[in-house]
Amino acid sequence: MFGADTKKLTSLLPLRMQNQMDAWLESLQVLLEVRDPRVLRSLAPAGIRGLVLQRGKQGVPTQTRAHHSAHFDWSYPSDNPEMRALYTRAKQGQWNSDTTLSWKTSVDPYDPATPLLPDGFLDFEALARLGIKLDAKEKQRLVYSVASWMLSQFLHGEQGALFAAAQVTEAVQFFDGKLYGATQVMDEGRHVEVFHRYLDTKLEKLYQVNDNLFVIIDALMADGRWDMKFLGMQIMVEGLALGAFGTLYKQTKEPLLRELLKYVIQDEARHVHYGVLALRDHMKLLSGSEKREREDWAFEVALLMRNRFLAYEVYEEWFEGILPRDKWREFVTHTPGMHEFRQTMFSRLVPNLREIGLITPRLLPRYEKVGLLQYMGGLAADRLDGDGLIAELDRAA
Partner 1 sequence: MLAERLPRSWNVALEQLRRDVNVLRRRAAGHGLPPLVTRGRRPATPDQERTQERSRSTQVRELAIAGVVPEAAGAVTLVLREHDGGAFDFRPGQFFTVLTDVGGEVVTRNYSASNAPGEPELHLTIKTKEGGRVSPLLARLQRGDRLRVRGPFGSFVVDATHDVDVHRPRRLVLVAGGAGITPLASIARSVLAREPTSEIALVYANRRAEDVIFGEALEALAREHGHRLALVHVTGRLDRTRSSHALDALPLASHPHARFFVCGPDGMRDEVLAALAARGVAEDRIAIERFSIGPRPQVATSSAAVAAAVGPGARPVAIRVKDRTHRTTALPGATVLEAGLAAGAPMPFSCAVGGCGACKVKVLEGSVEVEEPNCLTDAERAAGFVLACVGRPCGPCVVEVVDEPGGA
Site residues, partner 1 (CB under 8 A): 14, 16-17, 19-20, 23, 52-55, 57-61, 63, 98, 103, 152, 197, 200-201, 204-208, 312-314, 316-317, 320
State the minimum distance, in angstroms, from the CB of residue 241 to partner 1.
20
Q: Is the peptide bond before 77 cis (omega within 30 degrees of 0)?
A: no
Residue closer to partner 1 by CB (options 29, 58) is 58
Least distance (Å) between residue 49 CB and partner 1: 9
Residue closer to partner 1 by CB (options 152, 347) is: 152
d(CA 52, CA 24): 7
Nearer Cβ to partner 1 (208/343): 208
Look up residue 128 and give its amino acid: A
State the nearest-atom distance from the C-beta of 201 to partner 1, in Å: 4
Among residues 32, 12, 15, which one has the least CA distance to residue 319?
Answer: 15
User: d(Cα 147, Cα 152) in Å, to the nearest integer?
Assistant: 8
| Residue among 101 and 372 whose Cβ is closer to partner 1 | 101
Taking the CA atoms of 69, 74, 79 and 85 in sequence, report the sign of the dihedral they define. positive
Q: How far is the CB of 283 from partner 1 (least distance, A)?
A: 36
**Residue number with CB closer to partner 1 (65 or 395):** 65
295, 297, 298, 304 alpha-carbon torsion, rounded to 10° = 150
Considering the complex, state which of residue 294 and residue 325 has its C-beta at the smaller distance from partner 1. Answer: 325
Q: How far is the CB of 235 from partner 1 (least distance, A)?
A: 28
Cβ(177)–Cβ(274) below 8 Å: yes
Residue 279 C-beta: closest distance to partner 1, Å? 34
- Which residues make Cβ contacts (< 8 Å) with residue 278, sequence separation at least 6? 83, 172, 174, 177, 227, 230, 234
The CB-side HSE value for 137 (13 A sphere, CA atoms) comes to 0
Q: Supply the minimum distance, in Å, between the C-beta of residue 20 and partner 1.
A: 5
Comparison of 114 and 208: residue with beta carbon closer to partner 1 = 208
Determine the 3-state secondary structure of 78 from DSSP: coil
Distances 48 to 52, 105, 157, 198, 229 between C-alpha atoms, Å: 5, 42, 19, 32, 19
